[in-house]
Amino acid sequence: MNIYVSNLSFDITNDDLKALFTPYGEVSSATVIMDKMSNRSRGFGFVEMQDETAAKKAMDELNGSTVSEREIKVNEAKPKEDRGGGSRDGYRGGSNSGGGGRNFNKPGSYNQNRY
């Protein structure tokens, strides 16, 4: 079962997150999500536990508990939804891509210089 943990302290590491859930059963993985630009925690993470009974017990007991002076929220992770808005090729911004981009350099476009 995949578990979503939010409102984590920015100091919590993957190992800390794993240690938090280990008393409830075997933890397959524990990952704190990091910001790509700053390499700082985004304040949430995911824990994977194979035993569904142990995972549910961990969720029940840890939800609302205080960890590093923060009240964490623990829920079953939901599958990632397709946000849409992009084109078939994944590019956003072209005139036919679905991204709403504009090409102002076409002949007759708004900002085309005319002398």
| CB-based burial, 27-52: b 16+ in 10 Å, e otherwise | beebebeeeeeeeebebbbebbbeee
Q: How many helices (H) and strands (E) does the chain have?
A: 2, 6
- Domain-located, residue 69: yes
User: What CATH number has the domain bearing residue 44?
Assistant: 3.30.70.330
Name the residue type at position 81: E
Q: What is the pLDDT of residue 112?
A: 54
- Domain-located, residue 55: yes
Q: What is the pLDDT of residue 95?
A: 47
Residue ranges in the chain modelled with pLDDT below 50:
95, 97
- Residue 110 tokens read as 């708004």
Q: What is the pLDDT of residue 79?
A: 84
Domain span at 58: 2-76
- Domain-located, residue 114: no
